[in-house]
Amino acid sequence: MAWSGSGLFCTPFIDAFDATQLAIDLSLTTNKWALFTNSVTPDFDAAIANAAYAAGVWNANEVSGTGYSAGGTAVASPTLTSASGIVTFDQADTSWASSTITNARGALLYANALTPKAAICAVNFGADYSTSNGTFLVTWSASGVFTLDLVP
């Protein structure tokens, strides 16, 4: 199996709007990005317990190496904005300085403050990337990390 694409995990958003009232707070700097190999196949419709960081497929396929700590790194400068019914999540670029990371295929954004640690978004880099005592840098789009179009 392999990364099939990027996307938002549906269940946390459904749980935020239904009686569960899951408290996903995208403005928190406790949310984290973790890097994973191409052995992961994100299931964007999975239940939170199956799509959370440290659940099943995720914990077995996280990258490792110098300058990278299991669990990833915290989100920096998160922002939520809206215009014309489109909500945009953005943040500062994500990096791991002085790192030696091998074959990172994608990243998982998850709510580290929740139990379980709900997966929010997975981003497929489209290829494997590595560093050798350098900076692993994810430069997010100038248009934001992701958008939600709330206009029917």
Model pLDDT for residues 57-96, shown as the tens digit of each residue: 677 899 999 999 999 999 999 999 999 999 999 999 999 9
State the average pLDDT over residues 5-21: 91
pLDDT at 55 exceeding the cut of 80:
no
Output DSSP code: residue 30.
T
- Kindly state the percentage of the chain with pLDDT values over 90: 76
Q: CB of 51 within 8 A of CB of 69?
A: no
| Beta bridge mates, 80 | 89
pLDDT at 49 exceeding the cut of 90:
no
What is the rounded average pLDDT for all residues in the chain? 93
pLDDT band at 17, cuts 50/70/90?
Answer: confident
Distance CA 104, CA 78 (A): 23
Distance CA 128, CA 2 (A): 11
Residue 145 has a pLDDT of 98
pTM: 0.94
What ranges make up the beta strands (E) of 9-133?
Answer: 32-36, 73-74, 79-83, 86-90, 94-99, 104-110, 119-129
Residue 62 has a pLDDT of 94
How many CA atoms lie within 13 Å of 8's alpha carbon, on the beta-carbon side?
A: 14
Distances (CA, A) of 41 to 19, 51, 53, 130: 29, 10, 13, 20
How many CA atoms lie within 13 Å of 146's alpha carbon, on the beta-carbon side?
A: 14
Choose the most confident range, by mean pLDDT, from 7-16, 37-46, 50-59, 77-86: 77-86
pLDDT digit string, tens, across residues 95-120 = 999 999 999 999 999 999 998 899 99
- Kindly state the percentage of the chain with pLDDT values over 70: 97
3-state secondary structure of 6: coil
